[in-house]
Structure 1
Amino acid sequence: MFNIVVIRIVEALVALIMMSLVIFLLSRLTGDPVALLLGDGATEADRLQLTRDLGLDQSIFVQYLTFLGNALTGDFGRSVTAGNRPALELILSRLPASLSLAGVALAFTLVLGILFGVMAALRHNSVIDVAARLIALVGQSVPSFWLGIVLMYVFAVQLRWLPTSGYGQWQHYILPAATLGLFTLAAITRLVRSSMLEALGSEYIKLARIKGLSERAVVWKHALANSLIPVVTFMGTFFAVMITGAVIVETVFSWPGIGRLAYESILARDFPVVQAVVLVITSLFIIANLLVDILYVIIDPRMRNRD
């Protein structure tokens, strides 16, 4: 078990380094940062001085090492448009909003997805099963921006039950969380349904029924416990989908998270902030998958026996 965990940590570190290299190279292809910072009225002396100050007169290898060293200390540069504030400071001020939205969305999709998946498996080929599969199909087909606009129009504009935007109260979470979580809800429903169907037909479930266990205990304690392993395996991916998908959802609902910050920074060509946001989101994705891999080793004895 220890060896597997160490291997996963090393793989995560390698992935982080590779992604930092990709982000660094892509940022160099977006244009000349000196021209962006100085504008058209700068003199040649100003350009040379800023080039030296930014370290752009160094080789690309030295520039990357400098970028990597600064990133490890939390220095991602300063925003071009937000009063020269540090990029990391801007991200940290927006991160709680994104994490809270992703947490709420993931919580309700887990509850509903597990419930729909179990009901669909228990009522195989019934109306409930068809309805659950239809929800899964719609959830994985409908674009987030379109769904968000429709939900806003129906529940906020027409019915006036919920606010169109805002942040801070529980009512503000409902529409963006529902929009953000529908895709994941569909995925969890399909995973739980297929795993439950496989579990209900297995030998250990037949043995549990022969022993006289109640149907509730058979379904919710034995069958569901084994059916959740695929869900746990994909939890890191689900969480990453919430964070990356928030770029669209936060823009539609004016949610003050890092997704909206990335959108605003792209429009303003604020490359230091865009670069920092992408690296932070990538780091969250990799860390979430690392934690899931470690959790999977803990809960699945077959993985622990592979040392």
Structure 2
Amino acid sequence: MIKAIANRFVESLIALLLMSVVIFLLSRLTGDPVALMLGDGATEADRQALIAELGLDQSLPVQYFTFIGNALTGNFGQSLTASADPALELVLSRLPASLSLAGVALAFTLVVGIIFGVFAAVAHNSPIDVLARLIALIGQSIPSFWLGIVLMYVFAVQLRWLPTSGYGEPVHYVLPAATLGLFTLAAITRLVRASMLEALGSEYIKLARVKGLSETVVVWKHALANSLIPVITFMGTFFAVMITGAVVVETVFAWPGIGRLAYESILARDFPVVQTVVLVITALFILANLAVDILYVIVDPRMRSRG
């Protein structure tokens, strides 16, 4: 098991290193930060001095290794906005808002998606099953920005039950979490339904029924326990969907997270902050998948034997 976990850890480090190369190159191709920092009134001497100060007169390999060295020490540069805050501090100050929203959305989708999937499998081909599949289809088809605007109009503007924006109170999480979690809710419902249908037709479930166990115990304990393995497998992907999808959702609901920060920084061409946001999101994605891989190795003995 230790060997399998070590292999996953090495693969995660390689993935993070490769992504740092992509982020570095993209940041060099999206515009000229020197022109943005100096403005129109700068002279050529000012331009050359700033290029030398930023190290942009060095070759790309030298610039990359300088970037990696600074990143390992937590130095991602300063924001190009008027505040000139360190980019990493700016991103980390927004990170709790994004993580809390993703956590609430993921918890909501796990609970509701598992319940929908179980009932859809138990009542196979019934109206309940059709309704669950319809919700899954709608959830994977509706764009997040459109859904967020519709929910805001209905529940905040018309019914006045919920706020249109804000952060800090439980009521502020309802609309953003529902918008963010609908796509993942559809995926979890489909996964659980398919796994439950397979489990309910297996021999150990038939044996449990022959022994006289109640249908509730058979379904919610024995069948569901084995049906959750595919959900665990895709947990890293689900978390990544929450974080990356937050760019749209946080912008719609004015949520003070890193998704909205990325949007604002792109508009302002604040390259150090954009670069830091992408790298932090990438690191979160890789860490989430590493945690899922470790959990999967612990849960599934077959993975331990494969190494």
Q: How would you bin the TM-score normalised by the shorter chain?
A: over 0.9
Equivalent AA in structure 2 for residue 155 of structure 1: F
> Following superposition of structure 1 onto structure 2, how do residues 231-246 of structure 1 map, counting pairs within 5 Å?
231-246=231-246
Shift in Å at residue 57 of structure 1?
Answer: 1.2
Equivalent position SS for 1:305:
helix
Which residue of structure 2 aligns with residue 83 of structure 1? 83
Determine helix, strand or coil for the equivalent of 2:266: helix
Q: Which residue of 2 aligns with 1:228?
A: 228
Whole-angstrom CA distance in 1 between matches of 2:130 and 2:72: 50
> Cα deviations across residues 182-232 of structure 1 (Å, max 9, x unaligned)?
000000000000000000001111111112222111111110000000000
* Superposition TM-score, scaled by structure 2 size: 0.99
- For 1:82 and 1:68, locate their aligned partners in 2 and report how far apart those are by CA, in whole Å: 26
Q: Deviations over 1:238-272 (max 9, x none)?
A: 01100000000000000000000000001111111
Give the drift of 1:108: 0.7
Find the residue that maps to 2:172 and give its secondary structure: helix
Q: 1:109-258 residue pairs with structure 2 within 5 A?
A: 109-258=109-258
2:102 alignment counterpart = 102
State the AA in 2 paired with 1:33.
P
Could you tell me the TM-score, scaled by structure 1's length? 0.99
Identity across matched positions, percent: 82
Shift of residue 72, structure 1, vs aligned partner: 1.3
Number of the residue aligned with 2:15:
15
1:50 is matched with 50
Residue 58 of structure 1: how far off its partner (Å): 1.1
Deviation at 1:82, TM superposition (A): 4.5
Q: 3-state SS of the aligned residue for 2:56? A: coil
> What is the alpha-carbon distance in structure 2 between the residues aligned to residue 22 and residue 222 of structure 1?
45
1:40 equivalent to 2:66? Answer no
Paired residues, number = 307
- 1:45 deviates by 1.4
Match in the other structure for 1:272: 272
Q: Which runs of 5+ in 1 are unaligned?
A: none
Q: Does 1:304 align with 2:307?
A: no
RMSD: 0.7
1:127-160 superposed Cα distances (whole Å, 9 cap, x missing partner): 0000000000000000000000000000000000
**C-alpha distance in 1, partners of 2:82/2:231?**
40
Instruction: Output the amino acid matched with 2:96.
Output: P
Equivalent position amino acid for 1:154 in 2? V
> In 2, distance between residues paired with 1:306 and 1:209?
33
What SS class does the counterpart of residue 40 from structure 2 fall into? coil
Q: For residues 291 and 70 of structure 1, what CA distance do their matches in structure 2 show? A: 26
One-letter code aligned to 2:184:
T
C-alpha distance in 2 between matches for 1:216 and 1:301: 27
1:48 CA displacement: 1.4
| Structure 1 runs of 4+ with >3 Å offset | none
What's the CA shift for 1:59?
Answer: 1.0
Report what 1:263 is aligned to: 263
Q: Distance in 2 between matches of 1:70 and 1:240?
A: 26
